[in-house]
Amino acid sequence: MRMLLQFQKGDLVRHLGLLDLQRTIQRALRRSGLPISYSKGFNPHIVMSFASALSSGIPGDAELLDVSLSGEATERECLEKMNRVLPPALSVSRVRLVDDRFPKVTAALRQAQYRITLRGGDARKIADAVPAFLAEEEIMALRKSKRQEVMVNIRPMLHELTVDFDAEADCAVLSARVSFVEAATLKPELLMEALSAYAQAELPRCEIRRTQLFGLSGDQPVPLIDMQAP
């Protein structure tokens, strides 16, 4: 049996790196009293994996952890015991128990949703450019990695982009659903660089928050925790 934990990485811990987050979660799992499964061998460790590691500085509302169990437990028991030992900024919102044959969440992940808030500066100009930006069939942007820099067409990786502008607060809030697979991941930072360049605007202060992780059922996005086994 495996336990899928949907948890938040709140604003207070948004700068927590992956290794520190792993250690915190592992400590909580050991303290929870749940029948956690350990690897075999000389140096046993908890059998767990994150669906996707968040970049430092970006909070998340629906992060997903996959943990193997060695015994029986109920979803309610898992939720209550984990929230008892985790800080509020890492609280668990949902638990789902699945069969060991259920696909690994890392393999099922296909898309991610982000809320991006722009404050002041050229926020209005960027917001006004969104409809024309979406009408383009090709949007080239420079993707940088440790090994290379290459121009790529990001338009096929952008599945949904909406924007609301609050004139009183001089604030634009964008919601973007983007591809999240190894061969075609669109990072929100690259999206905003491309959008601001398209709008011929200077990118103002930008606050990014990941709000959901998705798998695909057919061609429809489904929250990763709700995916069904094939």
Q: Is the dihedral of CA 115, 208, 202, 177 positive or negative?
A: negative
> pTM surpassing 0.75?
yes
pLDDT number for residue 182: 80
Yes or no: say if 98 and 2 are a contact pair by the CB < 8 Å rule.
yes
The CA distances from residue 201 to 19, 120, 122, 162, 225, in Å, are 37, 12, 6, 18, 38
pLDDT number for residue 146: 72
Residue 170: CB atoms within 10 A of its CB come to 14
pLDDT in tens, 52-83: 989 889 999 999 999 999 999 999 999 999 99
Two tokens, residue 207: 């606050």
pLDDT in tens, 161-219: 999 998 888 899 999 999 998 878 999 999 999 999 999 999 998 999 999 999 999 88
**Rounded CA separation 224/97 (Å):** 13
For the chain, how big is the Rg over CA atoms in Å? 19
- Residues with Cβ < 8 Å from 215, sequence gap 6 or more? 108, 109, 110, 111, 221, 222, 223, 224, 227
